[in-house]
């Protein structure tokens, strides 16, 4: 029996993490495995996904394989800046106590695994992990806890480098979990049009201005994609995710500053232009460097438009750059992206189901 521990936080109103959890459902179902999707808190049902909410480690005793699935669950940036403060607010305690609780839940600190249990971290980002742990003793403890994992399968080469610098020998190159589902490639679109969604580097309002300016410069029609939702209706998120994928299929290209919309667009082999800052600092789970890394490892660096920090009219600057890329032919190649997702699937199958 497999426990698949998910990172989905619906409070972010983000279809991206829903796509990650849908990928877990599809991947383990396809391999005919007995599994439970698990969360430590939150709603037990989101769309078609049924989660088991657990309150103690004793509830994991029944599972012979425990898989942390996606996002930043083992990254101390998430523990310090997301999980810890949220836990402190909810439980009326300190952020230090919240960070300790993160180590207990996500790194199994103070919890002994049974000899028969295997522990995995899959599709996780470790960008910035060492820098946020300034104390050498904290770095040492972190490395010791990660060493207990049977295998760590991070989603990008930057994360592999972070782990190797910590001396980890249990690292297998991976990719983002949302790439695992097989999707029919998007059809050719003859109409000059592009989809768009913003809310990370730009505010949604600024993103609208970018889209309107691109329309003005190119004559291409701008079609909004609803990805970051104003209201998250738990029963409707499958429907909204499907509608977003349909919107991607109807356009020639997607212009966005959102990481998982970029991933889902590429998974349909649809052209994407990703917008973000150019610095390589990674201090928060929403920082732009993860988008830079994604396009770099997939050979699509030329589809990244850097937002300048010293320019007053950033909207016009970005729209002008995007407009030039929209008219470029040929469109981006997806060969490297498809190879990474194929290798990722093969590595997971070998690690998780060695007997098959």
Give residue 55's domain range.
2-180+339-352
Torsion sign across C-alpha atoms 326, 188, 194, 15: negative
At 330 the pLDDT is 53
Task: Tell me: do 11 and 158 sit in the same domain.
Answer: yes
Q: What is the pTM of this model?
A: 0.95
Domain-located, residue 185: no
In a domain, 287, yes or no: yes
Q: Taking residues 18-24, what's their average pLDDT?
A: 96
Provide DSSP, 100-167: HHHHHHHS-TT-PPPTT-EEEEEEE--TTHHHH--SHHHHHHHHHHHTTSSEEE-SSHHHHHHHHHTT
Q: Which pLDDT does position 331 carry in this prediction?
A: 57
For residue range 26-40, list pLDDT tens digits in order.
999 999 899 999 998
Kindly state whether residue 116 falls inside one of the protein's structural domains.
Answer: yes
Q: What is the pLDDT of residue 204?
A: 95
pLDDT digits (tens, 9 = 90+) for 117-132: 999 999 999 999 999 9
Q: Are both 152 and 20 inside the same structural domain?
A: yes
> 22 with 153, same domain?
yes
Q: Are residues 95 and 197 in the same domain?
A: no
Q: Cα–Cα distance between 244 and 282 in angstroms, integer? A: 28
Look at residue 12 in the predicted model and tell me its pLDDT: 60
pLDDT classification of 73: cutoffs 50, 70, 90: very high
Residue pointed to by tokens 């194929």: 342
Residues 101 and 132 in one domain: yes
Q: Are residues 346 and 330 in the same domain?
A: no
Would you say 222 and 289 are in contact if contact means Cβ atoms under 8 Å apart? no
Q: Flag whether 186 is in a domain.
A: no
Shared domain for 118 and 37, answered yes or no, is yes
**Does residue 187 fall inside a structural domain?**
no
Mean pLDDT estimate for the chain: 93
What CATH number does the domain containing 148 carry? 3.40.50.11930
- Whether residue 10 is predicted with pLDDT greater than 70 in this model: the reply is no
- The pLDDT tens digits for 335-353 are 999 999 999 999 999 999 9
- Give the chain's domain count: 2
Q: What is the pLDDT of residues 154-181, one digit of tens each?
A: 999 999 999 999 999 999 999 999 999 9
Claim to verify: residue 311 and residue 347 sit in the same structural domain: no
The candidate with the shortest Cα–Cα distance to 39, out of 23, 19, 60, is: 60
CATH of the domain at 257: 3.40.50.10140
């Amino acid at each position: 029996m497999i426990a698949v521990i998910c990172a989905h936080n619906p409070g972010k109103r983000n279809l991206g993490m829903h796509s990650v959890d849908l990928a877990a459902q599809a991947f383990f179902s396809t391999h005919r495995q007995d599994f439970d999707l698990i969360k430590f808190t939150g709603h037990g049902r989101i769309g078609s996904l049924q989660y088991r909410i657990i309150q103690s480690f004793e509830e994991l005793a029944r599972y012979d394989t425990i898989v942390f699935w996606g996002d930043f669950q083992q990254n101390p940036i998430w523990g310090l800046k997301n999980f810890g403060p949220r836990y402190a607010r909810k439980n009326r305690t300190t952020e230090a106590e919240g960070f300790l609780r993160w180590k207990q839940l996500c790194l199994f600190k103070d919890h002994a695994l049974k000899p028969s249990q295997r522990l995995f971290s899959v599709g996780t980002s470790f960008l910035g992990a060492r820098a946020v742990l300034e104390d050498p003793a904290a770095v040492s403890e972190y490395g010791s806890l990660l060493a207990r994992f049977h295998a760590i399968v991070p989603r990008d080469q930057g994360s592999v480098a972070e782990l190797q610098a910590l001396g980890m020998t249990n690292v297998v190159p991976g990719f983002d979990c949302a790439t695992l589902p097989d999707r029919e490639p998007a059809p050719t679109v003859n109409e000059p049009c592009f989809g768009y969604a913003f809310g990370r580097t730009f505010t949604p309002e600024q993103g609208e201005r970018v889209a309107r300016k691109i329309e003005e410069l190119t004559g291409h029609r701008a079609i909004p994609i609803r990805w970051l939702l104003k209201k998250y209706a738990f029963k409707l998120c499958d429907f909204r995710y499907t509608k977003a994928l349909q919107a991607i299929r109807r356009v020639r290209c997607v212009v966005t500053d959102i990481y998982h919309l970029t991933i889902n667009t590429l998974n349909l082999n649809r052209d994407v232009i990703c917008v973000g800052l150019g610095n390589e600092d990674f201090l928060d789970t929403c920082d732009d460097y993860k988008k830079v890394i994604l396009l770099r490892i997939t050979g699509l660096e030329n589809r990244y438009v850097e937002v300048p920090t010293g320019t007053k009219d950033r909207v016009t600057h970005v729209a002008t750059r995007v407009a030039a890329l929209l008219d470029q032919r040929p469109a981006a190649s997806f060969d490297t992206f498809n190879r990474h997702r194929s290798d990722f699937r093969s590595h997971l199958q070998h690690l998780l189901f060695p007997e098959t």
